[in-house]
Structure 1
Amino acid sequence: MKKILTLIASLCVFVACSQEKDTKPPKTVQSNPILLADPTIFYNKGTYYLYGTTTGNIPNGEGFQVYTSSDLKKWNGPSGAQNGLALKKGDSFGDKGFWAPQILEYNKKFYMIYTANENIAIAVSDSPLGPFKNESKKAIIESGNQIDPFIFIDEDGKKYLYHVRLTNGNRIFVAEINDDLQSIKPETLTECISGTLPWENTENKSWPVTEGPTVLKHNGLYYLIYSANDFRNPDYAVGYATSKSPLGPWEKSADSPVISRKNTNQNGIGHGDVFWDKDNKMHYVLHTHYTNSAVSPRKAGIIDLSFEGNKIKAESKSFVLFEK
């Protein structure tokens, strides 16, 4: 009987050890986020092209990488024409601080408008993959410091350069830009907005920040989507203002911020661009902090946007970070 009990005990120990081994949690699969800040997406002939300020793989003084996707889920790259870069230092204006690019197709060419050396320049290519080249090697505005450019072309063909001027804060301005996209009409330069609301300056800084403008038109009304607070602040967030004219005056929405850490659980979420997918659904591509305790390198992702009447709504449950 003693031998039988000993055998049963041994079997129990064996079974218990086997169960413990089999029920160990599976190894965590490490994600591989795309490390871009201030991102933008350009859609062309079935392919999505993702650009932004490089924050992880290479120094942001080397140029702009580009990633590609056919479905916004699987991303390849960096796929730029020059070792992953769509634009590289040497073909560009400036030699450091390559930030916040925007891509547009115009006159059968592809244009990249961007920041370098805290000034705005524009480069041209025959392909969204580049190589983009800035032939003039000059800034569009040759006085002061400007960042975060965005070109909006209205239905009447007039073109507007929205940008941020570094003067008593990061303030968003607009000016008409000439048809060659190389210079502005200085007499049209107008301030749009600055950081005056509590949500736009949660740390009460003496240098309030509004930046990252994107402009679109819906039902005859102009929408200026922007980010506020310093990008290092967890409260960095996205709001919008509306106007009946591309030059303003602008009325800030009482619904702002529409994207923030409160509805996405992501710190430092913002500074992106609107784009429409192949099914004509509207999205906003943006960046977040790397973790809850680390700002950089920042990660890129998207969130769905929609109009409800004249209001912009973000579908926070749709937020997805990009992985490669």
Structure 2
Amino acid sequence: MKGTASIIISMLLAGSITSCQSQKQIAAHRIVTNPLNLNYRFQPKDESRREAADPVLEYFKGYYYLFASKSGGYWRSDDLADWEYIPCTTIPTLEDYAPTILPIGDTLYFTTSSGKTQIFKNAHPEKDTWEPVNTKLTYRLHDPAFYRDDDGRVYMYWGCSDKEPIMGVEVAPQDGFKAIGEAKALIEHHGDKYGWEVPGKNNEEPRQGWNEGPCMLKHEGRYYLQYAAPGTQYRIYGDGIYVGDSPLGPFEYMEDNPFSFKPGGFIGGAGHGHTFRDKYGNYWHVASMTISVRHWFERRLGLFPVVVSSRKGMYAHTVWGDYPFYIPDRRVDFSGNNLCMGWNLLSYRKPVLASSSLAGYEPDKVNDEQIETWWAAQTGKKGEWIQVDLENLLSVNAVHVNFADHNFKVFAPHPPVVYQFIIEGSVDGKEWVNLVDERDNSKDEPHRLFTLDKPVKIRYLRISNAKNMEGNFSLSGFRVFGTGQGIAPSKVAGFRAVRDQQDKRIYRFIWEAQKGATGYVLRWGTQKDKLTHAVMVFDNQYEARYFNRDSEYYFSIEAFNENSSDLLKSTR
């Protein structure tokens, strides 16, 4: 056993890792997953919960700046992988929802949803030294968005309503962002035609959803006006696109909407986001993801690569977005590369044991691939633990730890909420060695992905609490990634897609359960060679109500399990 232990210990977190997809060496810190591992702030009132949503992200003076609602500050990064938190007290409207930022020259501008529009500026946002602008824009902006065109002209977009449209107007930054002309209605509600705009967990409620969170992108001379629907508390929250030839339209609905959509997997939701280009010219989408258990607005942030092309339109790679992927340090063709590391989920519904648990928060909640459920120990005492049995010796590349903060009584303002723990591995469940040692951790990191320098053959993994804490030691996900030793599932048989003839926004799917399958990836599109949208399903039937009433669709389905690395590489 000593030999095995020494091998495992030598393969800790460091160095660089080879991607199964690209075969390139990738620095370990550039391997990430969703939700983003940020120090999400606990809110000042109501239920004790973390929250961040409605993100906006811009590249400015060599750094990416990320703002999100209800965060008490903002983040910056030089690589989109490691983020530094900057507390902020000089923006009095910071606690209002839906921030937006705009770089102009050497200055970054900021505003947010508020009763009276106020704009602030900062030439050095690495410091909390924001100053007010003599704002002359008199429109009341709900979910505002700045946009600066190539010719230097600036526009504002806004909208957050189940009745009112998405609006837009040109503004004059040199004159306090005063409106130039009258605001125009740009996007109306069409839930009767577009099922994804209808609210409800499965788009089932007989009312209009909320159209909100606009964002503008220009690509090859065309303007892509983005909006979110139908509500932030749903997994079916997504972002759609209207396309036009000028910043204020007219705009035409993109038939393959929503372009950013993630109703399945470990964490769902990919709406009210912001599409931007990184310093290499790659497109990305940062978006709101949902938990919405303790409160509707219990949310996280996700980051997804985006394709914009004249042939395939615009779409985000989301279906594998909560598996490990890498942040590139060069220009990448996202139409043929979804950035996945090619590691499979090894822990789904595998046997689990725990030191203790609360009723309703049993151990099997830790690996059911639902962030909305979690295991909670009976206490927060040092020594509480949970372990997963992979059932075979498998090659492990990474462990994704997601803490659930059960029975915490934390409210803003607060110091960092720090977990301290160890992750151990064993080949036989008797002798254990440390894989990850966070007993001296001082960082607030509720969604940490730990990558191993080289894969380790192991069967059992255990995480143990290393300090006494208030509340209960709890995890919504203890997810293990690597490579299985079996065979991938066979081709799916008996697939049927049946459209509801009374309501053509609804499709019902059924297929034969495949032996050895963990789940299935259902893909769709309005062109046969353009199945760029996908959902992960863990059953052999599925009902979806988010399709366009008047569009025709093509579908495909693939089964996956812990041996399906090739499927993770597939893009359409």
TM range (shorter): 0.7 to 0.9
Aligned-pair distance for 1:162?
0.9
1:177 aligns with 2:171: yes
Structure 1: distance between partners of 2:89 and 2:101: 11
Match of 2:189 in 1: 195
Structure 1: distance between partners of 2:206 and 2:99: 27
1:53 aligns with 2:49: no
Stretches (4+) displaced over 6 A: none
Unaligned segments of structure 1, at least 5 residues: 1-30, 56-63
Instruction: Judging by fraction of residues, say which structure has more helix.
Output: 1
- Compared CA separation, residues 264 and 239, structure 1 to 2 (3 A): farther
Unaligned segments of structure 2, at least 5 residues: 1-35, 41-51, 324-444, 449-572
Match of 1:122 in 2: 119
8 A contact 1:171–1:209 mirrored in 2:
no
Residue in structure 1 matching 2:56, options 14, 26, 40: 40
What value does the CA root-mean-square deviation take over the aligned residues?
2.9
Structure 2: distance between partners of 1:177 and 1:264: 41
Match of 1:274 in 2: 275
Q: Aligned partner of 1:177: which letter? A: V
Aligned-pair distance for 1:170?
4.4
Residue in structure 2 matching 1:108, options 106, 109, 120: 106
Moved more, 172-181 or 297-306: 172-181
Aligned-pair distance for 1:175?
0.8
Aligned-pair distance for 1:266?
3.4
TM-score between the two structures when normalised by the length of structure 2: 0.43
Match of 1:314 in 2: 316
Structure 2: distance between partners of 1:191 and 1:227: 16
Q: Aligned partner of 1:169: which letter? A: K
TM-score between the two structures when normalised by the length of structure 1: 0.73
Q: Aligned partner of 2:55: which letter? A: P
- Compared CA separation, residues 264 and 70, structure 1 to 2 (3 A): farther
Structure 2: distance between partners of 1:206 and 1:125: 42
- Compared CA separation, residues 124 and 320, structure 1 to 2 (3 A): farther
Aligned-pair distance for 1:113?
2.3
8 A contact 1:285–1:301 mirrored in 2:
yes
8 A contact 2:55–2:99 mirrored in 1:
yes
Match of 1:8 in 2: none
Aligned-pair distance for 1:120?
3.1
Residue in structure 2 matching 1:150, options 140, 145, 167: 145
Residue in structure 2 matching 1:65, options 61, 73, 76: 73
Moved more, 310-319 or 122-131: 310-319
Q: Deviation string for 1:226-272 (max 9, x for gaps)? A: 11102123321111110112111111111001222346663333111
Q: Deviation string for 1:81-105 (max 9, x for gaps)? A: xxx116432xx5xxx8512222222
Structure 1: distance between partners of 2:277 and 2:293: 30
8 A contact 1:173–1:190 mirrored in 2:
yes
Q: Deviation string for 1:100-132 (max 9, x for gaps)? A: 222222243221122223x43211112123322
- Compared CA separation, residues 279 and 242, structure 1 to 2 (3 A): same
Partner of 1:286: helix, strand, or coil? strand
Partner of 1:88: helix, strand, or coil? coil
Partner of 1:188: helix, strand, or coil? strand
Q: Deviation string for 1:249-296 (max 9, x for gaps)? A: 111111001222346663333111112222221101111112678643
Aligned-pair distance for 1:42?
2.0
